[in-house]
């Protein structure tokens, strides 16, 4: 079932919000609202996981809104981001110029697509929804921060909240987006260290992996042929892209050795196999007309809310990356934003006054929302309400998607009133030797 909800705001940011509902199967227990990540991701990121979601939340309606600025909701650039436009929902060629030109001509428009306005939307939708059984809210990644801001605004009638891959506190200057490459590098290096500490893996590689990897990077900087073998021709970015898929992340030591020894040079069979594994994992999320993220919204909200080093230059970013083994493109996108940003409002970094029962599910090898930052955020939240932590040892980002199943069981127990442990270990990362 699909519906369009119109939300009228005093700020003038009136929007239409697209909401899709997957009705409960069997005896109905209530509803679970699924809040997507991003910023810029639409609710379509959940559609391909519908069967897993039904198993995780049995007997619950699954209600999936598109944030303002995403999917089939009102967009920042409605012409250029329309599914029927030349690039579909993604911007293509000249659409970048016309979209950004319009946004620069209307700087006040930025405030209408702020994180707080999106939180007001979610509060409004929750208030309008009929109460039949219990109401839970699940948020992932950026969606966890959006849910918390919605709670700070006083959203009514929520019986429990699940936060999957909790974002850092908004004012945590050790883990904001400008430091994403440092976060990614830390997780990647721990995977290399795991191999060194595991006899089967260490013996297969033959020397400390980080030293071998540094040698590969030095050679690749002088050998275009070696660099061309790496997808994207940027080894730190390529290897960082594997960290969200535990099975692929486990193969990083093997891939480093292959590049160092120039094995399988004719076909790059291992590189091709791991790349295909990542593509297959991403394909589970599905491909829909509204799937491409809204880049204008990514730039707007990331730059306005999540950059605690606004004075950095492109040269600063390059200098930081020069010493890293793994890196992210995000810090570079925060430099010299091409559209007007908005000023943070009174809700920035403000904790809710009180919390409903809450479960945080966090992987210790999360390269997007780091585990140590999540612990700091949980400690702050526990001052205003009950928060349970479920740890996925060696687990990656978006546990509902990336974990082998134990996190899913913990979420199911939370909404059905069952019991669950406080920790499990994913079986595809860390202690096994590289595949031969």
Q: Quick one: pLDDT at residue 352?
A: 97
The percent of residues in the chain predicted with pLDDT above 90, rounded, is: 81
Q: What's the pLDDT tens digit per position in 33-49?
A: 999 998 999 999 999 99
What whole-number distance in Å separates Cα of residue 21 and Cα of residue 32? 10
Q: Quick one: pLDDT at residue 29?
A: 96
**Domains recognised in the chain with CATH numbers:** 2-172+345-425 (3.40.50.1820)
Judged against a pLDDT cut of 70, whether residue 363 lies above it is answered with: yes
CB of 70 closer than 8 Å to CB of 38: yes
| Per-residue tokens: 300 | 């707007």
Is there a cis peptide before residue 39, judged by omega within 30 degrees of 0? yes
Judged against a pLDDT cut of 70, whether residue 433 lies above it is answered with: no
Q: Quick one: pLDDT at residue 426?
A: 66
User: Which of the residue ranges 120-134, 261-275, 319-333 would you say has the lowest mean pLDDT?
Assistant: 261-275
Q: What's the pLDDT tens digit per position in 226-249?
A: 899 899 999 999 999 999 999 999
> If pLDDT is split at 50, 70 and 90, which confidence band does 8 have?
confident
What whole-number distance in Å separates Cα of residue 32 and Cα of residue 308? 33
Q: Quick one: pLDDT at residue 404?
A: 74
Q: Quick one: pLDDT at residue 48?
A: 95
What whole-number distance in Å separates Cα of residue 119 and Cα of residue 126? 11
Query: Residues near 42 by Cβ (< 8 Å), separated by ≥ 6?
Result: 36, 66, 67, 70, 71, 72, 73, 290, 291, 293, 294
Judged against a pLDDT cut of 80, whether residue 400 lies above it is answered with: yes
What whole-number distance in Å separates Cα of residue 242 and Cα of residue 203? 23
Closest CA to 121 of 218, 205, 282, 13: 13
Based on the number of CB atoms within 10 Å of its own CB, is 82 exposed (0-12), middle (13-18) or buried (19 or more)? Answer: middle
CB of 69 closer than 8 Å to CB of 329: no
Mean pLDDT of 60-79: 96
Q: Quick one: pLDDT at residue 435?
A: 38
Query: Residues near 273 by Cβ (< 8 Å), separated by ≥ 6?
Result: none
User: Which of the residue ranges 261-265, 331-335, 363-367 would you say has the lowest mean pLDDT?
Assistant: 261-265
Q: Quick one: pLDDT at residue 30?
A: 97
Phi/psi for 61 (5° steps) reads -60, 140
Judged against a pLDDT cut of 70, whether residue 429 lies above it is answered with: no
> If pLDDT is split at 50, 70 and 90, which confidence band does 3 have?
confident
The percent of residues in the chain predicted with pLDDT above 70, rounded, is: 96
Q: What's the pLDDT tens digit per position in 211-225?
A: 999 999 999 999 998
When the pLDDT of each residue in the chain is averaged and rounded to a whole number, the result is 92
Locate tokens 């391909």: which residue?
A: 48
Q: What's the pLDDT tens digit per position in 244-293?
A: 999 999 999 999 999 998 654 555 578 888 988 898 988 888 889 999 99
Q: Quick one: pLDDT at residue 422?
A: 85
Q: Quick one: pLDDT at residue 291?
A: 93
């Amino acid at each position: 079932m699909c519906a369009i909800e119109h939300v009228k705001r005093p700020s003038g940011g009136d929007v239409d919000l697209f909401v899709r509902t997957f009705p409960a199967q069997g005896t109905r227990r209530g509803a679970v609202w699924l809040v997507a990540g991003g910023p810029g991701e639409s609710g379509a990121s959940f559609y391909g996981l519908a069967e897993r979601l039904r198993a995780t939340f049995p007997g619950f309606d699954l209600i999936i809104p598109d944030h303002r600025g995403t999917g089939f909701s009102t967009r920042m650039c409605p012409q250029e981001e329309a599914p029927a436009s030349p690039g579909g929902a993604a911007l293509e060629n000249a659409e970048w110029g016309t979209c950004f030109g319009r946004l620069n001509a209307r700087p006040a428009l930025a405030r209408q697509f702020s994180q707080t306005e999106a939180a007001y939307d979610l509060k409004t939708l929750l208030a309008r929804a009929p109460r039949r059984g219990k109401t839970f809210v699940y948020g992932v990644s950026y969606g966890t921060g959006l849910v918390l801001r919605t709670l700070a605004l006083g959203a009514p009638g929520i019986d429990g909240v699940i936060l999957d891959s909790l974002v850092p506190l908004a004012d945590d200057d050790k883990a904001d987006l400008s430091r994403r490459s440092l976060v990614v590098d830390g997780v990647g290096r721990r995977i290399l260290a795991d191999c060194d500490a595991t006899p089967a893996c260490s013996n297969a590689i033959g020397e400390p992996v980080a030293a071998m990897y540094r040698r590969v990077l030095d050679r690749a900087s002088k050998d275009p042929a070696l660099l061309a073998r790496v997808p994207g021709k940027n080894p730190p970015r390529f290897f960082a892209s594997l960290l969200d898929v535990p099975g692929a992340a486990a193969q990083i030591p093997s891939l480093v050795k292959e590049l160092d020894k120039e094995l399988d040079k004719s076909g790059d069979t291992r590189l091709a196999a791991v790349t295909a594994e990542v593509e297959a994992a991403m394909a589970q999320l599905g491909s829909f007309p509204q799937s491409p993220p809204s880049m204008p919204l990514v730039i707007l909200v990331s730059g306005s809310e999540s950059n605690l080093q606004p004075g950095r230059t492109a040269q600063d970013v390059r200098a930081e990356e020069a010493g890293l083994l793994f890196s992210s493109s995000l810090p570079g996108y925060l430099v010299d934003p091409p559209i007007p940003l908005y000023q943070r409002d009174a809700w920035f970094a403000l904790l809710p006054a009180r919390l409903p029962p809450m479960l945080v599910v966090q992987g210790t090898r999360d390269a997007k929302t780091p585990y140590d930052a999540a612990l700091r955020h949980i400690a702050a939240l526990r001052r205003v309400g009950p928060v349970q932590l479920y740890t996925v040892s060696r687990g990656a980002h978006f546990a509902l998607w990336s974990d082998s199943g134990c996190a899913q069981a913990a979420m199911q127990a939370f909404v059905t009133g069952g019991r669950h442990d406080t920790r499990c270990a994913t079986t595809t990362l860390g202690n096994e030797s590289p595949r031969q």
